[in-house]
Amino acid sequence: MDFALNEEQLELQQLVREFVAKEITPYAAQMDKENHMRDELVPLAAEMGLLNVMVPEELDGMGLDSVSIAAIYEELGKGCAGVATSIAANSLATLPVMIAGTDEQKQIWAEVVNNGGMAAFALTEPGAGSDAGGVATKAVKDKEAGTYTLNGTKMFITNGGIADIYLILANVRKSGGIRGLTCFIVPKGTPGLSVGKKEDKMGIRPSNTCELVLQDVVVPEANRVGREGEGFRIAMKTLDSARPFVGAIAVGIAQAALDCATKYAKERRQFDQPIASFQLVQGMIADMAMKVDAARLLVYKACCLRDEGKDFAKEAAMAKCYASDVAMEVTTDAIQVMGGYGYSKEYPVEKMMRDAKIMQIYEGTNQIQRLVIANKILY
């Protein structure tokens, strides 16, 4: 068992750390205030190779292992979880195509994200969150034309307003349910596809989160990923793979909050001594550090199992659930250590706390993760 990153992974981590320090952290507060990711970031991220980490080398992508991707996303999470979410969403949307797509579909998708394009995974709807079977977007096949017509509304879609290509789940069965879920590739600009309301969120504000409206969107049968009714299986495999990476972003948030609280505790003086000398503060710092390290190790374990081709669904759920709970706990404690300053926008921990909350909700709520873990153990 080796708990350390190898030399190549450390070099990659350092490159991303420098990128974050230069291009993300100095602008994080402003992006949060403006509810918008600075326009220069996507081209810069593409130049760094951050948008196509999930694309194999044979398709001219980065083709990185899961541990390397987790290390990257942790660094991005330290700088700004909103930016990290938008970049990680490219991987989320890419996974279904790499899991079940044809060679031609993989090539088409890879060309978009390899050339700096953004992607979006569109599953969630007003009536379909944890219950994927509630997807009401319909896909009606025209056998003679060899096409599908999609109609419906998606919501809370990361990169929804800025994506160049979409992976959309729709139901081919009139009665609905998970057995009719089917995946479709829909390029930006397809007639009938439009962007609706942009969400004004509590946290991860630089991440573009929008409603998508599909009105008689016609796509060729060649754009269907996998077989009809295979969408639920593809989506679950996708989310299993993506969950450790959500955990990695959460670890990044927690580590950044711990670092901020530790620095403050050393500098802040009360009763003629730094508050870091107070045992109650030391106890909080120690608990925060233990939780962050434990969360990181869970993330790496899930990633290692994925790379080894072993069953990792339980560990993926554990990593996502525990790391996001830790992010919420550690950011809350960081604010407590810093007192009124922590609650003020003068310091970044209040933003980290707001960002941490969504980690417990998106890509499967932590209640759902606990059900997954329990089912894996009990059955």
Q: What is the pLDDT of residues 267-304, one digit of tens each?
A: 999 999 999 999 999 999 999 999 999 999 999 999 99
Q: Round to whole Å and give the CA distance between 182 and 227.
A: 7
Type of residue found at 59: L
**Is the pLDDT at 349 greater than 80, yes or no?**
yes
Residue with tokens 């596809």: 193
Is 363 assigned a catalytic role? yes
Rounded Cα distance, 358 and 329, in Å: 13
Are both 359 and 237 inside the same structural domain?
Answer: yes
pLDDT for res 2: 78
Q: What is the pLDDT of residue 129?
A: 87
β-sheet bridge partners, residue 157: 210
pLDDT at 24: 98
CATH number of the domain where residue 205 is located: 2.40.110.10
Task: Check residue 56 and give its pLDDT.
Answer: 97
Comparing CA positions, the residue from 99, 102, 91, 108 lying closest to residue 54 is: 91
Give yes or no for residue 1 having a pLDDT over 80. Answer: no
Using DSSP's 3-state secondary structure scheme, residue 17 falls into helix
Q: What is the pLDDT of residues 298-345, one digit of tens each?
A: 999 999 999 999 999 999 999 999 999 999 999 999 999 999 999 999
- The answer for residues whose C-beta is within 8 angstroms of residue 39's C-beta and 6 or more apart is none
Check whether 135 has a pLDDT greater than 80. yes
Same domain, 179 and 140: yes
Find all residues with CB under 8 Å of 220, minimum gap 6, and list them. 146, 147, 148
Tell if the pTM clears 0.85, that is, is over it. yes
> Strands 147-158 and 119-122: what pairing?
unpaired
C-alpha span between 86 and 120 (Å, rounded):
9
Q: Lowest mean pLDDT of 20-34, 76-90, 119-133, 281-295, name the range.
A: 119-133
Catalytic residue among 74, 199, 315, 363: 363
Over its C-alpha atoms, the chain yields an Rg (Å, rounded) of 21
Count how many domains the chain has: 3
pLDDT of amino acid 169: 98
Task: Establish if 2 belongs to a structural domain.
Answer: no
Structural domain harbouring 161: 119-228
Predicted confidence at residue 291, as pLDDT, reads 98
| Same-domain status, 56 and 125 | no
Residues 211 and 243 reside in one and the same domain: no
Which of 254, 242, 270, 260 is closest to 342 using CA atoms?
A: 260
Q: Which of 77, 211, 231, 206 is nearest to 157 (CA)?
A: 211
366 and 237 assigned to the same domain: yes
Q: Clarify whether residues 295 and 276 are in a common domain.
A: yes
Tell whether 246 and 367 lie within a shared domain. yes
Over residues 108-117, the pLDDT tens digits come to 999 999 999 9
- Identify the sign of the CA torsion 244, 250, 256, 259: negative
Same domain (yes/no): 133, 180: yes
- According to the model, what pLDDT value does residue 373 have? 98
Residues 6+ apart with CB under 8 A from 146: 220, 221
- Whether residue 240 sits in one domain with residue 360: yes
Residue 3: per-residue pLDDT: 78
